[in-house]
A and B are shown apart, each in its own frame.
Chain A
């Protein structure tokens, strides 16, 4: 007899338990998490495992890998330790990835939320601005910004954030447009809740899952953009970054390819880990999308 309406189903396990259960169902996502953990460990242990400045001369120039255990992954043409560069580079890449993504997401969420929630002329104005940004190729805009602001690491990070906010803004706007018509928003309005609270407390939490997933994509893209800048010798020369190392390794690509290949592999694995992570988050946060 199912007529009794007053009993409640037994409690579900807490949210994070459910989340982990769904996440680990995707094996590739677990691999992504492991790779990500490795990168984080590298960044954290950079000063412990391989002490010393990665820009300092550590041995004979162009020592191949696995020859001298002082410099296990070899040295570049100036005698700098490649392994130490890779470890310290992980710090820079993660820093840029996280900060630039935060900048992009914050700008994107604010603009997208306002445009999507209010609609009308607010939407028109904000979307035209977004389109203006979108018409300029990302990398060209990034080069222009770096050329204006200079190539200090803080400015580079900010510039990467500024060129990548348009896609999340459009996404947030679409989410808000569909969510603002839902009855729970009407219910909140009917209770006398203010617009700001409705936007940030009622709608935003419901719009977050796709944004979180997309954030992993932005993070991967920011790391690539920083590497590309460094490759063009526009990166901050005071920090060892993977892009810098590839850029300098280019000169000896024929004689000592490992100088460019090793940091290249590091970039590939980091970006791969973010994209697998994003896929796993998508499965875990939007369980209804699958099946």
Chain B
């Protein structure tokens, strides 16, 4: 299957150290190890107040009365705000549909919905004052799943919908529905020798970024406000904040502060508008920091899903058709549910060649916690189900599960269910081959110390629950497909401003974008791109803010592609300007100025033969070149609302996993022994960061497989909003993660790169569950897998 293509050759900057392809170190790394890096929760201002949010204890209730007088009377309290205090008639916000109230108006639709705000001189004073606000609720019946949401007498979560999806959904409690029909699944099913069906469920996962929601709003003399904030997309926040405040966008100046992880959970607004409202009301700076409990209510989660799948195959192992129905629980507000539906439906067939499909995906409005973006974004849920189906099909045919997948794997030129042709490398079979070929971890490692038993290598670990009795090993495989970038016709551009000047005799490039650095390492990559494109050593990365054009979201594995693309594009414009200046100033000195291909290398203008024409200092003199440019990737188009056909995605990315687990079958405890990954990244701009992304994404998939779920009561209230009760993998839960990085260039992308961050989160989960199935023989149709699912107790 050896698809062998070399990454796009890079001529410009190939002599430059610290350019693309090198594992340069993070520019913020040192500050993050000394404790000096300023996260949003670390900000401090003279005279600042602390904001606090009063939230609904009920999932669905009418607010009968609201009395803030006792809170206002508390010493140290500067302001208490409710819906009635909002300054304009724009009182809702939302990423796609403006359905989310800034503060509840007469009704709450989910547990933890913001009802009132308090500003006080100490966080504890604010908390205690909030507790003195009297809210009388009358509880309403809750809508919690598809049956209750679409029942004839179901309460409508949002009455009188007028959003752009309201006209085509089958019920007002359905946010969006996307069917995809291609070929003839009924006819193809008649060719099948085996047909397997399955019903699967994915629990509600939390992003669990470590740095809680926080920010500081500082009122300005011009009546505006300066907001320092941890977010994923400054300009999308701005677009939602300014109208609610009644301010023009230029009077809401936003600066990114340190962001402690995001994973999709900071796409939606949390405390942004609230802090600004309190600051403008009190005339004082207001800081808001959620604690972990509040954070669980402060952001959307991964959609829980129920998925029904049917696949058929011929005896020789070719998939004939696929039918599926995916129901996503979007909770009380839309957030990015429509786009998650688009992803879940369009990626529901996985990285396989299936010509005849009948697909339906939809998201519900319910009274459960709102769900939206999380790493993997609709593709995670589908991947868990279709990969379970692949193992079932292979078993029904008596075939090896990896060989069965390889036989049906898509490759470049394949057609997606949407009709879109995959027009760059799609090395699915090769990734499976590579991950299977990796060396296996040793068996019974707990005995390797000699003599005794090292319980740390066993399921249950230091709980000392077994010395190997009842422990069974299993191995499982999975592969997945994720889109990169914003899809369905969205104008997914980015902006970069690049300045080149000579400082103290040395050329220095300054890169200014609004890209949210959330930990992914975009700032590292921007400096590498500038070094490569401008042939300089010194690169300064300016803080991200709204003084420069939008960078789009740090989401959808897109920032290296899109903002990286914008930095490259702008650097190229700067380079052209350098050469123009050089020709004007020095063109008569050497004929090569007019005739040769010129490059910038090591601070000099050189010919492609390596002859030095001039130093940058000589060319630039006192002049600074300063250019801001937008950059766009190839446009996409919406999916047809009936057939789902359309060139909807920018790029696809692929990863495969092999999981090795030891299961204590008596207690139902799982130890993941190793989780190997092979991924195609097109071109690794920073190999160290690429591997870090793959290992981090893999671990979040492991969490979904065996640990992580937000539990919701039958009254739709959250039962486990803490790190005591919502468990994410520790270093003891996480195995070695060997990574095999493949680099097959995508000719449509800058440097041939492929978005990296999300694909590893997809296949990790089904690989782990496949391994547990192999160890136990159980069907396991739901994640996370719990001990009682393995012991039957």
Q: Check if A and B associate.
A: no
